Amino acid sequence: RALAQAIELHQRGRLAEAEPLYAAILAVRPDHFDALHHLGLIKLAHRQLSEALRLVADAMRLKPPSPQILMNHGLVLNALNRHDEALESLDRAIKLKSKFYEAYNNRGAVLAALGRHEAALESYRKALAIKPNFTEAIFNCGNALTTLERFDEALECYDRGLALRLGKRRQACRRDVHFEPGAKLFQIVEWPRAAHDAEITAGEGICLVPCRLPARHAERHADVHELTHAVARVHAGIVGA
């Protein structure tokens, strides 16, 4: 019963309440697989990365690793900048579960961290081949294309992702956005993967991470800036639906 309560709180985002419940379970049963795994995820969310890795690794020693825990192990390793090991863990997850779209998306993030942006884009697209409306992968495709300076394709991705995430409010927000020239573009990343270093954090799981757009493209691709900046405005209640 304590585990079910902890997981329910965890799924509802009430991490501060779930954490002591997992800890209480482990005080009685230090080898409790689910408590170790889920407490490790909370530590990851709190950026307590060494503790997150210890907990997830301890869980993995208790039984043959599932695709889910292999992916989460990869997320922790990636957060620790151990990208090659993270990639290996994600590849193992995909080998066990070929249609694991979340793992393909996270694999793309690891490849991006390694500077392998074409490969990252391919991995994001594999996620979308499995789940076409997976918005995080759509936004990540846009981010990869932005890095590769393929701005028109990036704009298509952002536009599609925002249409899925915001629906009618996306059109509302665009009517009240004024672009101020300057070479800043906001890339879109969904919460909680990069919100800890985002300049703007919006509701409903989207945050915007600033990057530099080459000056020669700033005016031509102002619409990308408008779309992404609009997300923050609409979630802040500045623009009505």
> What average pLDDT does this structure show over 61-85?
95
Residue 56 has pLDDT above 70, yes or no: yes
Peptide bond between residue 64 and the one before it cis (omega within 30 degrees of 0):
no
**Per-residue confidence (pLDDT) for residue 165, from 0 to 100:** 76
pLDDT of residue 162: 79
Q: What is the structure's pLDDT at 105? A: 95
CA angle 53, 55, 60 (to 5 degrees): 90
Task: Please give the structure tokens belonging to residue 178.
Answer: 């004024």
Structure tokens given for 64: 């043959």
For the residues 9-20, what does the mean pLDDT come to? 92
pLDDT over threshold 60, residue 167: yes
Instruction: Give the 3-state secondary structure of residue 207.
Output: strand
User: For 112, what's the count of Cα atoms within 13 Å in the CB-facing half-sphere?
Assistant: 22
* Residue 146's pLDDT band (cuts 50, 70, 90): confident
Could you tell me how far CA 221 lies from the centroid of its own chain? Answer: 24
The confidence score (pLDDT) of residue 228 equals: 44
Is the pLDDT confidence value at 213 over 60? no
User: Which whole-number Å values give the CA distances from 229 to 39, 154, 179, 191, in the listed order?
Assistant: 34, 15, 9, 16
* Torsion angles phi and psi, residue 66, rounded to 5: -85, 165
Residue 79's pLDDT is what? 94
- For residues 206 and 83, the model is more confident at 83
* Exposure string for 159-185, b = 16+ CB within 10 A, e = fewer: bbbbeebbeebbeebbeebeeeeeeeb
Is the pLDDT score of 180 beyond 80?
Answer: no
Convert the pLDDT of each residue in 80-107 to its tens digit: 999 999 999 999 999 999 999 999 999 9
DSSP string across 52-65: HHHHHHHHHTTSPP
Residue 115 has pLDDT above 60, yes or no: yes
pLDDT band at 118 (very low <50, low <70, confident <90, very high): very high
Q: What angle do CA 62, 66, 72 make, to 5 degrees?
A: 95
**Look-up of token digits 């979340």:** 102
The pLDDT value given to residue 154:
85
- Mean pLDDT score across all residues of the chain: 77
- Mean pLDDT along residues 72-76: 95
What percentage of residues in the chain have a pLDDT greater than 70?
A: 69
The two three-digit tokens of residue 103, written as one number: 């793992």
